[in-house]
Amino acid sequence: MTILVGYNASKESEGALREAAVAARARQVPLHLLFFHVHAPGDSMQQVERELHQGEELQANLNAIGEQLRDSGIEVETELRHGLKTQVADTLLEIADDIDAQMIVLGWRPRSRVTEAVLGGIAREVLRKTHRPVLSVPLDPEHR
């Protein structure tokens, strides 16, 4: 079994990655690190080209994070996906099924009820749709 962590280099996901690493080490299971690069619908060709270049940089950063985790004794697989924000939760759940994830780890930032209702929330959608355990890691209060 594997622990799946959603990561996007935000402060929220940094906390999720730390907790996922602790859980993987404690359970002696591999960690699957997913970076989902979000782009907007209707992006211009110039924007798409910039994002492709940025994707190469993201992959290099993701590889470096993977190496750090391996150096600390954690077996890790990294994966970079691209898509719309509306695809993030379903992609996480699809990967969780594919790898038979023992647990999904996500970071989140507390928001007002109005903001949450309007924007939705990836963590909330994952919690609503999955049968797997989810560790939802709130943003550290000193970083809010």
| The two three-digit tokens of residue 140, written as one number | 């550290």
With cut-offs at 50, 70 and 90, classify the pLDDT of residue 118: very low
What is the residue extent of each domain of the chain? 30-83, 101-144
- The amino acid occupying position 4 is L
Average confidence score pLDDT of the chain: 86
Output the pTM of the full model: 0.85
How many CB atoms lie under 10 A from the CB of residue 129? 12
pLDDT(137) > 80: yes
Among 109, 126, 134, 120, residue whose Cα is nearest residue 15: 109
Among 31, 29, 24, residue whose Cα is nearest residue 65: 31
pLDDT(105) > 70: yes
Burial of 41 (0-12, 13-18, 19+ CB in 10 A): exposed
Are the C-beta atoms of 33 and 79 separated by less than 8 Å?
Answer: yes
Q: For the segment 41-87, what is each residue's pLDDT rounded down to a tens digit?
A: 776 667 767 776 777 888 899 999 999 999 999 999 999 998 888 88
Q: What does the DSSP 8-state code read for residue 51?
A: H
